[in-house]
Amino acid sequence: MNYYVSQQEYIQIDRRPPYITITLLIINIVLWLLMTIAGGSTNVFVLQSFGAKVNVLIASGQYWRLFTPMFLHIGIVHLFFNSYALYTYGTLVERLFGKVKFLIIYLASGLFGTVFSYMFSHPISAGASGAIFGLFGALLYFRKARRGIFKRLLGANLIIVIGFNLIYGFTRSGIDNWGHIGGLVGGFLISSWLDLYSEKSFTLKRVMFLLLAVVILAVGINWGNYKYRQEALINKALNSYSAGDTQEAVENIQNFLDDNPDSIEARYVLGAIYAETGHIDKAIDQLSILLDKDDGHVPTHLLLGKIYLSTGQLDLAKDHLERVLSIDPGIEEARDLLESIQQHMNAHTLG
């Protein structure tokens, strides 16, 4: 089948049924059903178990999460709209680029979407939207390469769809618009490298698009790793501690603090581990260093209040708990502990 625009302009397409698009749809639906059976596709724990994008876990080395989110969906509405878009635009792109190129574009665009989200968006996320925006990017390349045919097939509709979805994503919460932007960029770059179904040869210009795509992905992944290195380290340490390996947990955090002495979160976790394992003096030392850097850190004052209360140093406990309430009067735990300290002091005075 050929699409004719004039006697001079036509394009060869892949006339076979869109097997890849249909297969991707089936995978998405099956995974959604499995997630629903496992506890619900909107359940955070189910999403995490099935491979949703969780930045701290990616930074911890779970790089497979850069690929798996594109096959997961959060709720049936999310699945329905993405399935509709995938079938509508996937069928067209698969015919224009051929099956192998289409699959590469789709997977690479999904990867780009996750990497952009990893760099710029913190919440857990999932969905085929990044890969679908990659199909939009592929069609933008088609517009550049075959403008006359593009105008006949799609006119201005594609630009309107892309613009509307990006604007909608920026004006609504809960939408990972960075994933959309990443997919769009990735789809255009990878399509510029691969070219259409009828093109078989590679030029230097096309290879440069591939190199640019690789550089963007490498920079993005390393940027995300650097951005979330502290959370990843703390998560690793807490996992070690939960598994009973306190020494490894302490060593991991201490090594991090050697290079990043101003890290409030890492020092707090180290102090908390020392406190829970009975190393009271070490806990107090770490938490005191923290307060020298940030005297308004409420969790540290609260923890020190508990530590001093457990050691019978009621005046010091009282000072820290009062500091907690001076910063945040709504913390009931501090208020309850203060009341118990005051009752103990009153009873001791009467005695």
Give the residue from 166, 192, 227 where a domain finishes: 227
Q: How confident is the model at residue 259 (pLDDT cuts 50, 70, 90)?
A: confident
- Is the domain of 164 the same as that of 302? no
Q: Is 351 exposed, middle or buried (0-12, 13-18, 19+ CB in 10 A)?
A: exposed
Instruction: Check which CATH number belongs to the domain holding 331 and give it.
Output: 1.25.40.10
Instruction: Check which CATH number belongs to the domain holding 140 and give it.
Output: 1.20.1540.10
**Tens-place pLDDT, residues 88-134:** 999 999 999 999 999 999 999 999 999 999 999 999 999 999 999 99
Q: Is 129 tagged catalytic?
A: yes
Q: How confident is the model at residue 3 (pLDDT cuts 50, 70, 90)?
A: very low
- Is the domain of 109 the same as that of 246? no
- Is the domain of 312 the same as that of 200? no
Nearest to 280 by CA among 231, 317, 253: 317
- Is the domain of 188 the same as that of 259? no
pLDDT for the residue numbered 4: 46
Q: 3-state class of 11 per DSSP?
A: strand
Give the residue from 227, 262, 283 where a domain finishes: 227
Residue 34: pLDDT over 60: yes
CA 64 remoteness from chain centre = 12
- Is the domain of 273 the same as that of 202? no
Residue with tokens 């809960």: 174
Domain total in the chain: 2
Q: Catalytic: which of 180, 297, 301, 320? A: 180
Angle subtended at Cα 240 by Cα 234 and Cα 242, rounded to the nearest 5 degrees: 100
Residue 4 β-bridge partners: 10
Residue 306: other Cβ atoms inside 10 A: 17
Q: Catalytic: which of 117, 121, 129, 192? A: 129
Q: Is 201 tagged catalytic?
A: no
Angle, helix 332-350 to helix 314-327, in steps of 10 degrees: 150
Residue 82 to residue 201: CA distance in whole angstroms: 33
pLDDT for the residue numbered 306: 96
> Where is pLDDT greater, at 200 or 80?
80
pLDDT for the residue numbered 7: 47
What residues contact residue 234 under an 8 Å CB cut-off, 6+ apart? 253, 265, 266, 269
Give the residue from 195, 227, 259 where a domain finishes: 227
**Tens-place pLDDT, residues 198-216:** 666 667 888 899 999 999 9
Mean pLDDT over 1-26 rounds to: 75
Q: How confident is the model at residue 10 (pLDDT cuts 50, 70, 90)?
A: low
Give the structural domain span for 278.
Answer: 229-350
Find the distance separating the first CA and the last CA of the chain, reported in whole Å: 100
Query: For the whole model, what pTM was predicted?
Result: 0.84
pLDDT for the residue numbered 9: 59
